[in-house]
């Protein structure tokens, strides 16, 4: 009895030293994962559901720029199997600790990822913009990258990771479509951002940010920049001023004194939400509604909610009559019988379209022959004025012998873009030449089933291997 009592006291003492709630496992698993910030923690939590609960460093009400490493943090990092953080541009408090971790710890620095779309800082060419999760396509890519990591580390529970991955991808894919649809309502409103957190929003959803005042908290706004932007506010050049929750703004009162303009507070770290798997969806929809209401304050909250949330049930695709590069009609009926892999772009596109079509072609070549035979690739132009049948015929030949180029009347192309939720906005030539315009457009791949139903949208930025894996997971 004495030995049993000593063991019990020892066990209780260990519980006090190492709280099991940090590593609580649903089925006895002992994988220890530490995540730095709440948006990424939410994605990791969803992937690890039923296996373990990842620990979070920057918790309730905090932002990473204000966080300081605690003894609890240091203990969690030392005992971890996997540490997932953004990088030194966002979490300076972690840089030294990460470098000192034992070699057995797998460290994932997300800003170093070749798979994610990582933008350079607009303030320092040697730094990267750390707010990558504010493009929902990056979230989709991140799910696949982390799933592969966990499968490599813990292959015995592969079925659980794959189940969690598929469930999460459905939710994120739905979110991505809602966000892209919802941002149609933002045209015409130019925003002034206090901090430069919205570059990914701009590129993903054609958001119009005219200027920003500071790259991050702690960097003062220069007097020249402050006066310049204040004058623009007074002249009515901005529809909205956006700030970030938790980020100190010592120059805000000087900027806004006497200025009548809409202003709102974003929450890009999800500080107001409870951590966990649902947080990422909540913060993305919260920020979207906040921006829309700031740019268009006359729209009611209920109207905004209906527009955002009802799109989950909206269909993609519809009735159209187009023509391919061989002069044959292209309709929803003619596209049936095979999986249709569709990319929207234009032949004058300087970089994104050629890269995307090359990735499409490479991905198709990587598929098993039985899978490849079931897929028909299409390139639908967003620029019917310049992309004639002959232009398309010459263009698609560079990429894949099976690629079908599709054009049509301006009105019919616009109808197709609307039915697929594709954004395409003309950017005038800086030199004033009306024939040399560019087009900002959605750069994802759309996969349609052989019966014409929409299956999924494959995020722009994936490698050929990543696109091939996605296609193989859907094509039966």
**pLDDT over threshold 80, residue 3:** no
Q: What is the pLDDT of residue 224?
A: 95
Question: What CA–CA distance (Å, rounded) separates 157 from 150?
Answer: 9
pTM of the model: 0.62
Mean pLDDT confidence for 430-458:
87
Task: Tally the residues of the chain.
Answer: 476
Q: Verify that 7 and 153 share a domain, yes or no.
A: yes
Q: Indicate the average pLDDT of the chain.
A: 86
Mean pLDDT confidence for 13-23:
41
Q: Verify that 240 and 277 share a domain, yes or no.
A: yes
Q: Verify that 205 and 336 share a domain, yes or no.
A: no
Q: What is the pLDDT of residue 312?
A: 34
Domain end point (choices 111, 143, 172): 172
The CATH number linked to 349 is 3.40.30.10
Q: Verify that 279 and 353 share a domain, yes or no.
A: no
Q: Verify that 335 and 463 share a domain, yes or no.
A: yes
Q: What is the pLDDT of residue 458?
A: 87
Mean pLDDT confidence for 288-297:
85
Q: What is the pLDDT of residue 180?
A: 63
Q: What is the pLDDT of residue 300?
A: 41
Q: Verify that 150 and 195 share a domain, yes or no.
A: no
Q: For residues 306-327, b (16+ Cβ closer than 10 Å) or e, as one string?
A: ebbeebeeeebbeebebbbbee
pLDDT tens column, 320-346? 889 999 999 999 889 999 999 999 999
Q: Verify that 157 and 23 share a domain, yes or no.
A: yes
Q: What is the pLDDT of residue 14?
A: 42
Domain end point (choices 150, 172, 194): 172
Q: What is the pLDDT of residue 297?
A: 72
Greater confidence (10 vs 112) lies with 112
How many Cα atoms sit within 13 Å of 368 on the Cβ side? 8
Q: For residues 140-176, b (16+ Cβ closer than 10 Å) or e, as one string?
A: bbbbbbbbebbeeebeebeebbeebbeebbebbbebb
Full domain range(s) for residue 403: 322-474
The CATH number linked to 215 is 3.40.50.1980
Domain end point (choices 130, 145, 172): 172
Mean pLDDT confidence for 2-22:
43
Q: What is the pLDDT of residue 451?
A: 86
Q: Verify that 308 and 341 share a domain, yes or no.
A: no
pLDDT tens column, 127-139? 999 999 999 889 9
pLDDT tens column, 202-213? 887 777 899 999
Q: Residue 370 CB: number of other CB atoms within 10 A?
A: 8
Contact 180, 421 (CB under 8 A): yes
Q: Verify that 330 and 425 share a domain, yes or no.
A: yes
pLDDT tens column, 451-475? 888 888 888 878 899 899 989 888 8
- Closest Cα partner for 77 from 48, 44, 54? 54
In the chain, the number of structural domains is 3
Q: Verify that 13 and 159 share a domain, yes or no.
A: yes
CA dihedral 282, 275, 164, 309 (to 10 degrees): -10
The band of 299, judged by pLDDT with boundaries at 50, 70 and 90, is: low
| Angle in degrees, 0-180, between the axes of helices 158-182 and 301-309, rounded to the nearest 10 | 130
Q: Using DSSP, state whether 461 is helix, strand or coil.
A: coil
pLDDT tens column, 365-419? 999 999 999 999 999 999 999 999 999 999 999 999 999 999 999 888 988 988 8
Q: Verify that 421 and 387 share a domain, yes or no.
A: yes
Q: Verify that 242 and 142 share a domain, yes or no.
A: no
Mean pLDDT confidence for 137-142:
90
Q: Number of helices (H) and strands (E) in the chain: give both, helices first.
A: 16, 17
- Which structure tokens are listed for 462? 């994936």
**pLDDT over threshold 60, residue 11:** no
pLDDT tens column, 146-203? 999 999 999 999 999 999 998 898 888 878 777 765 555 455 578 999 999 999 888 8
Q: Using DSSP, state whether 155 is helix, strand or coil.
A: helix
Contact 346, 387 (CB under 8 A): yes
Q: Using DSSP, state whether 364 is helix, strand or coil.
A: helix
pLDDT tens column, 70-126? 999 999 999 999 999 999 999 999 999 999 999 999 999 999 998 898 999 999 989
Q: What is the pLDDT of residue 369?
A: 94
């Amino acid at each position: 009895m004495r030995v049993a009592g000593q063991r019990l006291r020892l066990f209780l003492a260990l519980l006090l030293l190492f709280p099991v709630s940090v590593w609580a496992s649903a089925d006895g698993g002992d994988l220890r994962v530490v995540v730095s910030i709440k948006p990424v923690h939410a994605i990791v939590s969803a992937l690890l559901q039923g296996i373990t609960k990842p620990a979070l460093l920057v918790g309730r009400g905090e932002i990473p720029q204000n966080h300081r490493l605690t003894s609890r943090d240091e203990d969690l990092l030392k005992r971890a199997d996997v540490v997932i953080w953004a990088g030194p541009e966002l979490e300076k408090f972690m840089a030294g600790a990460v470098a000192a971790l034992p070699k057995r710890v797998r460290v994932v620095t997300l800003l170093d990822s070749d798979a994610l779309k990582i933008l350079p800082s607009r303030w320092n060419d040697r730094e990267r913009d750390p707010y990558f999760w504010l493009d929902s396509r990056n979230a989709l890519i991140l799910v696949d990258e982390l799933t592969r990591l966990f499968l490599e580390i813990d292959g015995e529970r592969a079925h659980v990771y794959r189940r969690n991955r598929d469930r999460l991808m459905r939710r994120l894919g739905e979110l991505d479509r809602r966000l892209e649809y919802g941002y149609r309502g933002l045209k015409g409103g130019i925003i002034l951002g206090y901090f430069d957190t919205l570059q990914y929003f701009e590129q993903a959803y054609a958001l119009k940010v005219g200027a920003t005042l500071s790259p991050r908290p702690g960097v003062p706004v220069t007097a020249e920049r402050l006066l310049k932007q204040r004058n623009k506010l007074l002249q009515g050049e901005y529809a909205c001023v956006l700030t970030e929750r938790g980020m100190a703004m010592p120059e805000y009162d000087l900027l806004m004194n006497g200025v009548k303009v809409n202003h709102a507070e974003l929450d890009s770290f999800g500080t107001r939400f409870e951590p966990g798997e649902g947080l990422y969806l909540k913060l993305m929809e919260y920020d979207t509604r906040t921006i829309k209401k700031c740019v268009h304050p006359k729209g009611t909250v209920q109207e905004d909610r209906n527009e955002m949330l009802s799109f989950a049930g909206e269909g993609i695709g519809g009735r159209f009559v187009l023509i391919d590069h061989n002069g044959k009609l292209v309709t929803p009926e003619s596209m049936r019988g095979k999986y249709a892999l569709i990319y929207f772009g234009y032949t004058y596109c300087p970089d994104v379209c050629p890269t995307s079509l090359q990735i499409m072609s490479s991905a198709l070549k990587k598929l098993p022959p039985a899978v490849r035979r079931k897929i028909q690739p299409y390139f639908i132009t967003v620029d019917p004025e310049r992309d004639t049948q002959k232009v398309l015929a010459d263009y698609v030949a560079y990429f894949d012998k099976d690629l079908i180029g599709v054009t049509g009347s301006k009105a019919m192309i616009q109808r197709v873009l609307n039915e697929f939720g594709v954004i395409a906005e003309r950017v005038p030539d800086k030199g004033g030449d009306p024939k040399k315009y560019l087009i900002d457009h959605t750069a994802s791949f759309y996969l349609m089933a052989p019966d014409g139903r929409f299956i999924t949208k494959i995020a722009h930025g994936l490698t050929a291997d990543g696109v091939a894996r996605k296609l193989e997971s859907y094509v039966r």
